[in-house]
A and B are shown apart, each in its own frame.
Chain A
Amino acid sequence: MARYIIRRLILLVPTLLAIYTLTFLLIHATPGGPWNYAARPLRPEMIERLKEKYRLNDPLPKQYIDYLVGALQGDFGPSYRHQERTVSQVVAGGLPISLQIGIASLVLAAAVGIPLGVLSAVRHNTWLDYLTTFVSVVGYATPPYVWAVLFVLVFSLSLGWFPTSGWGGLFSNKAVLPVVTLATAAMALFARYTRASMLDVLGADYLRTARAKGLHEWTVVLGHGLRNALIPVVTVGGVLMADTIIGSFFVESIFALPGIGYYYVESVLARDYPLIMAGTLIYSVLLLSLNLLVDISYAVLDPRVRYQ
Chain B
Amino acid sequence: MEKPNQSASPRVFQASQPPQAALSGALTRPPSSLWADAWQRLKRNRAAIVSLFILAIIVLAAVFGPMIAPYAYDKQDLRQSNKPPSAQHWLGTDRLGQDVLARLLIGARVSLAVAFVAQVVIVLIGLPAGLLAGYLGGWVDNLIMRTVEVLYSIPVLLLIILIMTSLRETLERGEGPLAQALSVLDNASGGLLGTIIGISLIAWIVVARLMRGQVLTLKKQEFVMAARAVGAPDLRIMRRHLLPNSLSPVIIAVTYGIPQAIFLEAGLSFLGLGVRPPMPSWGLMIAEGSRAIRSYPYLVTSPALILAITMICFTFLGDGLRDALDPRMKR
Contacts and interface: CB of A to CB of B under 8 A. Distances in A.
Interface of A: 15, 18-19, 22-23, 26-27, 29-32, 134, 137-138, 140-143, 145-146, 148-150, 152-153, 157, 164, 195-196, 199, 242, 245-246, 249-250, 253-254, 265, 268-269, 271, 276, 280, 283-284, 287-288
A32 B297 contact: no
A280 B294 contact: no
Interface in B281-311: 283, 286-287, 289-290, 293-294, 297, 300-301, 304, 307-308, 311
Given A146-B307, A253-B271, A268-B161, A153 B293 contact: yes
A220 B119 CA distance: 45
Contacts of B162: 23, 26-27, 268, 276, 280
B155 A153 contact: no
Given A26-B162, A246-B157, A287-B153, A254 B290 contact: yes
A149 B304 contact: yes
Contacts of B22: none
Interface string B165-184: 11001100101000000000
Interface stretch (B3-11, B75-83, B240-248, B312-320): B312-320
Interface of B: 47, 149-150, 153-158, 161-163, 165-166, 169-170, 173, 175, 259, 263, 266-267, 270-273, 283, 286-287, 289-290, 293-294, 297, 300-301, 304, 307-308, 311-312, 314-316, 319, 331
Given A143-B307, A153-B301, A246-B157, A265 B294 contact: no
Contacts of B259: 141
A146 B156 CA distance: 19
A245 B156 CA distance: 11
B304 A32 contact: no
Contacts of B273: 268-269
B163 A157 contact: no
A269 B272 contact: yes
Contact of B156 (A142, A246, A271, A284): A246
A180 B150 CA distance: 32
Given A250-B267, A287-B155, A26 B304 contact: no
Contacts of A29: 166
A181 B157 CA distance: 18
7 contacts: A18-B150, A22-B154, A23-B162, A145-B270, A149-B286, A250-B271, A269-B272
A157 B297 contact: yes
Contact of B331 (A137, A164, A195, A284): A195
Contacts of A142: 308, 311-312
B312 A284 contact: no
Contact of B308 (A32, A143, A254): A143
A22 B165 contact: no
A153 B270 contact: no
Contacts of B294: 157, 164
Nearest to B259: A141
A284 B153 contact: yes
Which A-B residue pairs are the 7 nearest by beta carbons?
A141-B315, A30-B166, A142-B308, A141-B312, A246-B157, A146-B304, A18-B150
* Chain A interface, >50% SS class: helix
Nearest to B264: A143
Contacts of A280: 154, 158, 162
Nearest to A143: B263
A298 B266 CA distance: 35
Given A30-B170, A149-B304, A268-B162, A249 B271 contact: yes
A288 B312 CA distance: 30
A271 B158 CA distance: 14
A287 B155 CA distance: 8
Contacts of B300: 149, 153
A141 B161 CA distance: 21
Contacts of A152: 290, 293
A148 B290 CA distance: 9
Contacts of A22: 150, 154
A196 B319 CA distance: 13
B180 to A, nearest CB: 13
A140 B165 CA distance: 27
Given A149-B286, A268-B162, A164 B156 contact: no
A268 B198 CA distance: 15
B293 A164 contact: yes
- Most chain B CB within 10 A, of A250, A269, A280, is at A250
Contacts of B316: 137, 141
A275 B170 CA distance: 21
Given A145-B270, A287-B153, A271 B166 contact: no
Nearest to B173: A31
Nearest to A16: B153
A142 B169 CA distance: 30
Contacts of A249: 157, 267, 271
Nearest to A158: B297
Given A149-B293, A249-B157, A250-B270, A30 B315 contact: no
